[in-house]
Chain A
Amino acid sequence: MSAAPATDANGAAQVQVKPGRHREATLYHALAGAGAGNGRTLEQLREAALRSFETTELPVWRRSGFWTTSLQSLDLDALETASGQDSVTVEPGVIPEVVTRTLPDRPHAGRIVQSAGSVVHVELDPALAERGVILCSLQEAFQDHRELAERWYSKRLTIDRNKLEAANAAFWTGGAFLHVPKGIVVEDPFEIVYAIDGPGVAQYARTLVVGGQSSEFKLHEYDLAEDFEGQALHAGAFELYLEDGARCRLAQLQDWGKGEVYDVSTRFVGVGRDAYCHWLPALLGGHLVRQHLELAVSEPGGDMAFRGLFFSEEHEHLDVFAVDLHETGPSGGDVHWRGAATGESRASFEGLIQIDPGAQQTHTYLQIHSMMLSPKARVDAIPSVLVSADDVSASHGGTVGELDEAAIFYMQTRGLDRPAAVRVIVEGFFEPLIAELADEALEEIVRAKIAGKLAAAREDIEAYATSR
């Protein structure tokens, strides 16, 4: 399926896009509308998704001939899908080494770790559990907190836009559920981890997070894999809903390592009345990654900061579609992404500002800055704006950069060798966003990963400099 249908699974109308209304080809659409949930039970949804899975092909995303994200090379049948649909117990298992190696040693409010198809570790600060905070596998949530889980599950996510989305909705196991009730303020972050330990795994990851009225919390998601030979799949579906006045800082650190990991995920964040979300995905690696990221202000007074950074290397393929959706006004938005590419990697970032009819007094801005560090690397940045209200301001900007030789020489005259100077420039390029993580431990991980990628691409970067 190359484009979203004009109506979603429930027949709810989406924003009509008139021909000629937008300059850039906005091929992908916001999910915009009610999700698949809407009164259906989990079982009904799984069944509907299974039908969709059986009748759809692996997705291909095309953009006017020069960009294609295709999963043709993924041998889905060869991957093992966990069949733990009926088992809801957490099997205390081995936490993959990549998780213990990567996660910072720091205070956290709770942590849930899923390896392949099973949740292997759950912990929650008992004091928070006492105050009604729930952190458990999503399967467990459907058993122990069914009403709550069903009220929110797939409220805005769809299940049938493509085969992998359907597969996720049909086959997901384990999963993560976090509920921070009304008025609860949590200082330390909750950590949700999805790990792939070896090849041959299809991981259908499902996360549901609800922030009750005036709650305040931080959520860090880690998507990690060992460096292995062979294919694996992470098809993820993530939804976070913030009720009136809730505030959340959401960060996601993704690095699928050197294996042939395919990541096709949809993430939706819904911001309620006077609620606020600061969302920062750091996409730092994966053989082929396609992310639909949607941050929607659904009630008046909602505000958001949608940040993101990516770094692709070697032969990686990264396709990000980020939506800054305003369904009502007044609302605020601020989208700021930065990305770099080395090797022969390809990265595409399409950022869409969509302001629905009636979302008056919305003010939003989208900026995307990219940096190409190798002669064969490519970054496409495509901002687009769809506005259906007249009392709004929406604009976008961006830059495409290369290494500034004058800056490199400048630093060399201060004693830094060339690789060190390059590192300073690239880190400086990302720094405005890294600093916004406002979390020292997480910032250090991101900085170290970027430094590692630069060190690995050293020759490549050098070749680029001399080729110009």
Chain B
Amino acid sequence: MADLEIRDLHVRIEEREILRGVDLDVSRGEVHALMGPNGSGKSTLANTLLGHPSYEITEGTIVFKGEDITEAEPHERAKAGLFLAFQYPVSIPGVSVANFLRMAINAKRTEPIQVKEFRNQLQHAIELLDVDKAFTSRHLNDGFSGGEKKRAEILQMAMLAPDVAILDETDSGLDIDALRTVAEGVQRLHDEQGLGALIITHYQRILHYVKPEFVHILMDGRIVLQGGVELVERLEREGYDQIRQEFGGQGEMAA
């Protein structure tokens, strides 16, 4: 049994069906890539997995570590060990990165984390992600550049040590150096902590640095093709249009 089991997931937002029966399994220690053209429903899946209130599940289930979390509150999913690295992280003015991290860590624990233990963990994560120490005293995402926001996402991921993380287009808008840092961070968390990752991406770039074992192609709200890393190469050669003709011809773009 996989840690995260998605079965026949149908999701609607404002009367429009975006996901039309998604099946997907992700376990600790596995790296998955979910690829698809714009509007295929990638971000909808990411948000739905964490319980965003705007997305309505009309059919199907999400089971995480044996618990049905289809209806669970977002913070319950987080506490259970799911994580979402946002495509567009929002800013939280007035709260420093370090303070926010401490709150998030304590939310998962019964006893607050010791200052020293927290400091050690933070130091480790800072080195892992090659960020400046001063970074952690800045207000979370407030005035951050695109690259800094993505690093802050991975920093949080490192500190919260989830079982399965969904990375929603973490590669978008990153220059090559930032992309490499972020991707290497994900790879190391996978190697060191046994992180399971579902890397959602439009492009292949990030997959040059994090090697997925499983690749899924999402089109028009369904996974139309699954395979290994060779799928990425095929996509690079042929593009989404070719695959669409083959598998998704019947569906219009979900915008």
Q: A418-B73, A432-B94 are in contact. List 4 more A-B contacts (CB 8 A).
A: A406-B90, A413-B77, A415-B107, A418-B75
B89 within 8 A of A: yes
A-B contact count (CB 8 A): 77
Majority DSSP secondary structure for residues of A touching B: helix
Query: Which residue, of B50, B52, B75, B86, has the highest number of chain A Cβ atoms within 10 A?
Result: B75
| Contact B79–A410 (Cβ < 8 Å) | no
| Contact B107–A414 (Cβ < 8 Å) | yes
**Residues of chain A at the chain B interface (Cβ within 8 Å):** 404-407, 409-418, 420, 424-425, 427-432
Q: With the chains together, A430 CA to B94 CA distance in Å? A: 8
B103 contact from A404, A407, A418, A424, Cβ within 8 A = A424
Q: With the chains together, A414 CA to B153 CA distance in Å? A: 10
Q: With the chains together, A444 CA to B93 CA distance in Å? A: 19
| Contact B90–A431 (Cβ < 8 Å) | no
B231 to chain A, nearest CB (A): 29
Across-interface contacts of A410 in B (CB, < 8 A): 86, 89-90, 92
Of the A-B pairs whose beta carbons lie under 8 Å apart in the complex, a sample of 6, sorted by A's number, is A410-B90, A412-B51, A413-B50, A413-B74, A414-B107, A420-B103
A409 contact from B53, B79, B104, B160, Cβ within 8 A = B53
Q: When A420-B103, A424-B103 are in contact, do A412 and B93 touch as well, CB less than 8 Å?
A: no
B51 to chain A, nearest CB (A): 8
B95 contact from A415, A417, A418, A428, Cβ within 8 A = A428
Q: When A407-B90, A430-B94 are in contact, do A412 and B103 touch as well, CB less than 8 Å?
A: no
| Contact B92–A417 (Cβ < 8 Å) | no
Closest Cβ neighbor of A414 among chain B residues: B104
| Contact A431–B78 (Cβ < 8 Å) | no
Q: With the chains together, A168 CA to B245 CA distance in Å? A: 85
A412 contact from B73, B89, B91, B156, Cβ within 8 A = B73
| Contact B94–A413 (Cβ < 8 Å) | no
Across-interface contacts of B52 in A (CB, < 8 A): 409
B108 contact from A404, A415, A432, Cβ within 8 A = A415
B83 within 8 A of A: yes
| Contact B90–A414 (Cβ < 8 Å) | no
Q: Which of B100-143 contact A (CB under 8 A)?
A: 100, 103-104, 107-108, 139
Across-interface contacts of A411 in B (CB, < 8 A): 92, 100, 104
A407 contact from B92, B107, B108, Cβ within 8 A = B92
Q: With the chains together, A448 CA to B156 CA distance in Å? A: 27
Closest Cβ neighbor of B85 among chain A residues: A413
The 8 closest A-B pairs by CB, nearest first: A428-B94, A431-B94, A412-B74, A415-B107, A415-B78, A414-B104, A412-B75, A417-B75
Q: With the chains together, A411 CA to B95 CA distance in Å? A: 12
A428 contact from B77, B83, B84, B92, Cβ within 8 A = B92
| Contact A424–B90 (Cβ < 8 Å) | no
Across-interface contacts of B51 in A (CB, < 8 A): 412
Q: With the chains together, A270 CA to B127 CA distance in Å? A: 52
